[in-house]
Amino acid sequence: MVVEGLRVRHPGADAPAVEDVSFTVRPGEVIGLLGPSGAGKSTVQAVLARLVRPVGGTVTVLGTPLEKWGHEYFDHVGVAFELPASRLRLTARRNLTAFAALHRVPVADPVELLARVDLADHADRRVATFSKGMRMRLELARALINRPRLLLLDEPTSGQDPVRAARLREVIRAEADRGAAVLLTTHDMDTADRLCDRLAFVSGGRIAALDTPRGFRLRHGRPGVIVEHREPERSGGFRRVRRVLDTTKPEAADELADLLRAGLVETLHTREAGLDEVFAALTGDRL
């Protein structure tokens, strides 16, 4: 999928929600859109889900310009946005079989999909009785029913406990490994860091920076280690000291080696910028 110079203005809005956004998502790749509320992330996804028409730029999906696609577009695209599309009065299984019937491409097995999102035990319960987290997981399963080549996910791990969030990250990674191009939005730094191959920081309708999570941390972090160690006092006791050693300086290696040899080190961490710090540095805003 290739987006070039995308510009979107919502009807009645004073300013464009998206200005000059360009990026590519290759098969097998997971790209995360990060940014403060109102930055334009969902608007970019809404264009790709054909919910909103852009006023400028080009979007090419699977080699074909977006406007040239007919209804068969949705045979190749999976969408899980915040507003659930599932029918509340139907069971989880029935929802998936109903959506599967809409497609003219080979579909995934609903029961297997429900197991993947940890809903196997609830397949025959009505969705109205599901918790918010369960409904979100069903949305992901629904988005995967047509084994999509492009997967659009809005906050796929929100409302999940840490174990389930990790499980969903595995499911999404498996889709990318199968060859899907994945574009997701997230405010969850764990998901950004552990799942995404590249991150686009969106601010004010533009991409402020695009890089791998590691690239961002290295570029915005300062090399160094944080050492907590005991320091002998004249009284014969010890006090605890926390120091930051700049590992670009040669003397840091000697200092650290001395502390380690003396058995005084209690904790040792590398000093890296977290993605939230990177974000604040790039956009002057917080997530």
Nearest to 73 by CA among 176, 152, 156, 153: 152
Nearer to ligand ATP, 43 or 283 (CB): 43
Between CA 65 and CA 1 the distance in angstroms is 10
The two three-digit tokens of residue 160, written as one number: 């999940």
Residue 10 in contact with ligand ATP, rule: CB under 6 A? yes
Q: Among residues 38 and 232, whose Cβ is nearest to ligand ATP?
A: 38
> Rule CB under 6 A: is residue 35 a binding residue for ligand ATP?
yes
Interface with ligand ATP by CB under 6 A: which range of 33-41, 130-138, 210-218, 241-249? 33-41
> Applying CB under 6 A, does 40 fall inside the site for ligand ATP?
yes
For 113, half-sphere exposure in the C-beta direction (CA atoms, 13 angstrom radius) is 25
How many whole angstroms separate alpha carbon 136 and alpha carbon 240?
Answer: 46
Identify which range of 37-45, 165-173, 267-275, 278-286 contacts ligand ATP by CB under 6 A.
37-45
Q: Which is nearer to ligand ATP, 27 or 204 (CB)?
A: 204
With CB under 6 A as the contact rule, the residue among 39, 49, 96, 144 that binds ligand ATP is 39
Q: Is the dihedral of CA 256, 261, 264, 265 positive or negative?
A: positive
Q: Which of 78, 234, 61 shows the shortest CA–CA distance to 148?
A: 78
51 touching ligand ATP, by CB under 6 A: no
Which of 17, 21, 49, 96 binds ligand ATP (CB under 6 A)? It is 17
CB half-sphere exposure, 62, CA atoms < 13 A = 18
Residues at the site binding ligand ATP, with contacts judged by CB under 6 A: 10, 13, 17, 35, 37-43
